[in-house]
Structure 1
């Protein structure tokens, strides 16, 4: 593997740090933050490696994984809501959905009130693939949390939420609930 941490890769020929406008920290910013960026790259690489291998068996990619995941976690999800969650174009989603529906991983039903509305559900085959990929990633997160120590979980959750753009944070926090949080919400709503 190439040495990607060489000081020369972070400086100009004159030896001065690059400016923020060139994509690297401006003078006065902590150079250690670059290491955090790189750690995120490597963590994401390894976090997605297991599911990538599973998806490759079907000729699928990460977009297929995201669609399967959110449809599986939110049965009856409207296509419009999925577009909002994934922040992708209709054309991109249409291509991925066509494959997933065509190969029997997702079904699409018309809405009860509005027949034009398309509601998405995973099939048993889609649920198995989604569960398989989720198990790979949950195992990696579980091991990482154990290695990070007992206080890490809450800190990591706060950090990851803070990484999400402020305008999307509330929506993401509503979408991403643990079973405990869902149970508490149901109790508060009298369900």
Structure 2
């Protein structure tokens, strides 16, 4: 240990354990998205549509620019997704009252119904996993997820949560 580079002695997981964690994350994500993916496929939508619907639901009236920052996608990509959702009657875009250049986004009743179907499926899976793991594991899981976020994304995540959105 005396010859180990600084900080290396703080690492308590082997490369094999980390590889297993990475693989578990891939498979968990696949499971987490599988139920919504089946619903989205019937509508010819993808995960980008799901993320947009989720965050518009969480922050009704959010601006397109705010959604761009939250999702970390290009303007072209988001516009393509929003155009489809608006044309299909799931999202409504309203011109800003103080700044006419801003577009504020809201889910329509159909959009809210789709969001509920997608979220219900994920909440059921997450609820079952959290119950099986127990409260200490849930707290640890959240800590690990936050620690994996880039610092700026973590700051946005906390601001988003504190805003009640």
1:87 matched to 2:87: no
1:143 matched to 2:128: yes
Q: What pairs up with 1:1-191 in 2 under 5 angstroms? A: 30-176=15-161, 182=164
Q: By percentage of residues, which structure has more helix? A: 2
Following superposition, which runs of at least 4 residues in structure 1 exceed 4 angstroms of deviation?
A: none
> SS in structure 2 opposite 1:119?
strand
Question: In 1, Cα distance between the equivalents of 2:14 and 2:123?
Answer: 34
> SS in structure 1 opposite 2:93?
strand
Question: In 2, Cα distance between the equivalents of 1:176 and 1:52?
Answer: 25
Unaligned runs of 5+ in 1: 1-27, 183-191
> SS in structure 2 opposite 1:44?
helix
1:156, CA displacement in angstroms?
Answer: 1.2
Larger Rg over CA atoms: 1
State TM-score, norm by structure 1.
0.76
Question: In 2, Cα distance between the equivalents of 1:85 and 1:161?
Answer: 15
Unaligned runs of 5+ in 2: 1-12
The aligned length equals: 152
> SS in structure 1 opposite 2:44?
coil
> SS in structure 1 opposite 2:106?
strand
